[in-house]
Structure 1
Amino acid sequence: MIVDQGGVRVICREGPAEHVDRDHRTGKVRGVLCFSCNAALGHLKDRPDVIRRAAAYVEGNLWNPTLVAQGVYRQPS
């Protein structure tokens, strides 16, 4: 699996890959990560919706309102 990943971690793309990541529901091995990325997925409960919002937040997009009319703003969903 590490060779298939090019010897690097799947998420942060740094090396070397050292922690086996499993789907917490099924137990199926997904890939080899670093401790931090593996822990982050666990803390975010393996929920893609939460992970996407976390990425949007880090990119500065989550709380930037859009002006839709004079004095009317829409928050991203």
Structure 2
Amino acid sequence: MLSLQTGICVLCLSAPAAHVDHCHETGRVRGVLCFNCNSAIGKLGDDPDTVRRAAAYLEGTSWKPTLVAPGVYRLPS
């Protein structure tokens, strides 16, 4: 796997890949990442929706919930 990635992190494409990343639910290995990228997705809860919201935030897209009824909010999809 590491040789297929040419020894670099598949997320940042710049740092040496040194940490095996895996799904915490299934144990399936997803790839080899650098420390920072592996730590970042872990801190985001390994949740693809959270990662997408983080990317949208960095791109300047507002991700504020919409009030649809008193005390009821709709999260952006």
Regions of 4+ moved over 4 Å: none
Instruction: Specify the code of the residue in structure 2 equivalent to 1:16.
Output: P
**TM-score where L is the length of structure 1:** 0.76
Q: Rg bigger for which structure?
A: 1
Q: Which runs of 5+ in 1 are unaligned?
A: 65-75
Distance 1:62 1:20, change over 3 A: same
**TM-score where L is the length of structure 2:** 0.76
Alignment correspondent of 2:55: 55
> Percent of pairs identical after alignment?
56
Alignment correspondent of 1:33: 33
Aligned residues: 66
Instruction: Specify the code of the residue in structure 2 equivalent to 1:30.
Output: R
Q: Which runs of 5+ in 2 are unaligned?
A: 65-74
Tell me, yes or no, if the aligned pair for 1:53 and 1:62 is still in contact at 8 Å: no
